[in-house]
Amino acid sequence: MTDLQRSKLLVTRTLPQLSQARLDKGFDGVDIVQWKEDRAIPRQEFLKLAKGADGILCLLTDKVDAELLDAAGPQLKVVSTMSVGYDHVTVSELEARKIALGITPGVLTEATADTTVLLVLSAARRLREGVDAVIQGKWGTWSPTWLLGSQLTDKTVGIVGLGRIGVAVAKRLKAFGVQKFVYQGTRPKKDVEKEVGGEIEFVDMDRLLKESDVICVCCALTDKTKNMFDYAAFSKMKDSVVFVNTARGGIVEQDGLVRALREGKLGSVGLDVTVPEPLPTDSELLSFPNCIVLPHIGSGTLETRTAMSEIAIENVLSGIKGERLPHPHDA
């Protein structure tokens, strides 16, 4: 990389150990400015540090919009987000300024699918209530009717968004005896039964909501999917349904979810994403014993986060050099 002119790279957070070691060692011709506090970079600090940057390596917590791009200046060549989703980036603004956008696809699939299955099983088997019973001294003598959950054997699982993660979730859940999968997305997929290893059918959303015993949200957040799961949608589901969202919090209209839980319209809920994040400790969502909330750790394994940060680094360095990104958002 000795052919690089002196360029400025802004990195908005400390990266996993191996990737951070690369940054600390440095790159030829690149001056690295990094926000190293263990919290999201404050907006005003982001605007200040972005000034004069040729490349920005950011996280999904960092809003990249016209204001930020104006603050950075016309020399900015690339924004590399350490995420597969990019709803925090105003893509039209980047395109208008011919700024490349890099993402980290593929490497999140296995970890996020694992977390999805974790939440399905935890919600179905009332894990939160069981742990609370042990901690709070409510564990009495064995009872044949206490803390009865549900199992996946012979059930129908609905998956909204059958991309890489959705397929990986289906393949994992198949091992638990699921009878049938139904899915919803932009269009039916070819050869999907062979990919999943079992019966799977493309259906309309109403049918998925009404027939599914388990619903997993694995789609991207777009204008079309924003608030897709509102009170009306929850009202169409079985009152025993296990509803899990590991995609984006904005896909669920949260007030509608709270109302549905309050009225007993849902069996159990597992969330790895909420609005806002972090979720306030006084949120009513946390008051329901049949609702498990995780702090957005879907991709939270050392292996996955390291792979994500390595891809993000390669994207931003390629962009600074004026080369095609290895993983552009529009690939």
Lookup: tokens for 75: 């020399």
Residue 218's SS3 state is coil
Q: Which residues contact 296 (CB under 8 A, 6 or more apart)?
A: 272, 273, 274, 277
Element (H, E) at 269: strand 268-271
* Count of CB atoms situated within 10 Å of the CB of 154: 10
Lookup: tokens for 83: 């995420």
Cβ atoms of 123 and 269 closer than 8 Å? yes
**R_g over Cα of the chain:** 22
- The Cα 273–Cα 111 span in angstroms is 15
Closest CA to 3 of 42, 33, 29, 34: 29
Residue among 88, 296, 327, 329 flagged as catalytic: 296
- 119: amino acid identity, one letter: L
Is 296 one of the catalytic residues?
Answer: yes
- Active-site residue set: 296
